[in-house]
Amino acid sequence: MSDGFAYRLRAVHVVFGTGSLARLAEVVTDAGLGRVLLVTTPGRRDTAAVATRALGDVVAGVLDGAAPHVPASLVADALREVERLQPDGTVAIGGGSAIGLGKALALRAGLPLVAVPTTYSGSEMTDVWGITAGDQKETGRDARVAPRSVVYDAGLTVSMPAALSAASGMNALAHCVEALYAPDRHPVSALLAREGIRILAASLPDVVRSPFDGGARERALFGAHLAGRALDLTSMGLHHKLCHVLGGTFGLPHAMTHAVLLPYVTACNASAAGRAMAEIATALGGETAWTGLHALRQALGITTTLRDLGLDAKDLDRAADLAVAGAYANPRPVTRDEVRDVLQAAYSGAPPRPE
Ligand code: NAD
């Protein structure tokens, strides 16, 4: 190691283990919260009901309408409920959409957040928030939105269908990939990212083959935890920017968009990120980073293209325009036309190739 490094770690109480949902009441009390608002997506109502029973009297109310990319109108509705119910904090149960609404309430109403993730999005470990008004998604970083406590119970992930599990796992892998070529990477973030890739690549095929395999589910969730931490410690690049544009403006499903794009953006950045590419290839056990990611994606049965996800060919131009608007970290400076080429390849399903 030749260079020194510095980084900050935010304090967060992490409880990890199958069955940990049973400890939620203790975790909420530990976080110093009295009455809490529970937020979830319509699809996770059953899990939220189990949590409500476990928490008992401390539940001030339940909001079960969370939606992808945190629509501003939902935040406004939720803030009215906060005004009415006066909770001390929020418990978000679900994937990135539920946690995203919890973060919006932390940002706008100052409510501390406890997260119980049920996907591999990694959002529970970060201070990154996003709110979508109209067709534009605004994102930012703010220490107030980072969950104070996180309860990881792999039992809650068993119900994720194989396709969502695979796509969500690729979302976690994308955090690790971009963390490795981030300008602010350091030995600790790199360690987390390499190990996250290794664990996710080894466990996701088992999860897809046997969704009820509790051991595989625990390993994948642990990989997602490491990925979330790596994401939190570094700045994301072109890949995350494109996913926000395609999700926020064109309504594409978040995790699946990550899964489709990742091998293409990795190949696009290859010439400017030699060390990261070698690390990714080694962690994946692939010949190159992008062929390894492409092979994993195929092994997981994710063979869709941006076209299959519902993007219209006429939107490729606007997506490229939006992706180069605004500054973000990327190892390789890319032109609008190069981004358009990446999108075109992912749209048609051509094999990923370095620029
Ligand atoms: P999601 O939360 O939208 O969930 C997708 C669907 O799966 C929903 O219908 C949900 O109810 C269902 N679901 C969730 N868990 C399930 C389970 N265990 N079993 C069965 N169904 C389940 O999807 P996501 O990919 O987790 O999150 C996407 C959102 O998260 C996007 O808005 C994205 O921008 C955000 N995100 C934010 C960060 C961050 O750091 N801020 C990181 C990653 C993703």
pLDDT in tens, 256-287: 999 999 999 999 999 999 999 999 999 999 99
Which pair of structure tokens corresponds to residue 278?
């070698």
Are 25 and 152 in contact, with CB atoms under 8 Å apart? no
Query: pTM above the 0.75 mark?
Result: yes
315 Cα to the center of ligand 1, angstroms: 24
Q: Atom 39 in ligand 1: which residue has the minimum CA distance?
A: 123
Given a contact cutoff of 8 angstroms between Cβ atoms, the answer to whether 101 and 211 are in contact is no
Q: How many angstroms separate the alpha carbon of residue 255 from the centre of ligand 1?
A: 7
Q: How many other C-beta atoms can be found within 10 angstroms of the C-beta atom of residue 134?
A: 9
Tell me what pLDDT residue 220 has.
98
Residues 295-319, buried b or exposed e (16+ Cβ, 10 A)?
bbbeebebebebeebebeeebbeeb
Query: How many Cβ atoms from other residues are within 10 Å of residue 249's Cβ?
Result: 19
Distance 304 CA to ligand 1 centre (A): 19
pLDDT band at 186 (very low <50, low <70, confident <90, very high): very high
Nearest residue by C-alpha to atom 15 in ligand 1: 118
304 lines ligand 1 (CB under 6 A): no
> Nearest to residue 70, comparing CAs of 120, 148, 150, 133?
133
**Nearest C-alpha to atom 20 of ligand 1 is from which residue?**
160
Residue pLDDT, tens place only, 5-23 = 999 999 999 999 999 999 9
| Residue 114 β-bridge partners | 91, 149
Report the residue among 50, 127, 246, 254 best suited for mutation to probe ligand 1: largest number of ligand atoms under 8 A from its CB.
Answer: 254
**229 close to ligand 1 (CB < 6 Angstrom):** no
Query: Average pLDDT of the chain?
Result: 96
Give which of 351, 256, 244, 267 is closest to 300, Cα–Cα: 256
Comparing 327 with 240, the larger pLDDT belongs to 240
- Cβ of 121 closer than 6 Å to ligand 1, yes or no, is yes
Percent of the chain exceeding pLDDT 90 equals: 93
Report the percentage of the chain scoring pLDDT > 70.
99
pLDDT at 27 over 70: yes
pLDDT grade, residue 1 (50/70/90)? low
Over 90: is that where the pLDDT of 318 sits? Answer: yes
Is 123 in contact with 101 (CB distance < 8 Å)? no
Task: Give, using CA atoms, the residue closest to atom 8 of ligand 1.
Answer: 43
> Is a pLDDT exceeding 90 seen at residue 26?
yes
Instruction: Extract the tokens encoding 120.
Output: 């591999």
Which of 7-21, 77-91, 199-213, 320-334 bottoms out in mean pLDDT, i.e. has the lowest?
A: 320-334
| Dist. CA 104–CA 244, nearest whole Å | 17
Q: What's the 94 CA to ligand 1 centre distance in angstroms?
A: 7
Cβ atoms of 48 and 40 closer than 8 Å: yes
Ligand 1 touching residue 94 (CB < 6 A):
yes
Q: Residue 293 pLDDT > 70, yes or no?
A: yes
Query: What is the number of the ligand 1 atom nearest to the C-alpha of 231?
Result: 40
Q: Which of 329 and 61 is assigned the larger pLDDT?
A: 61
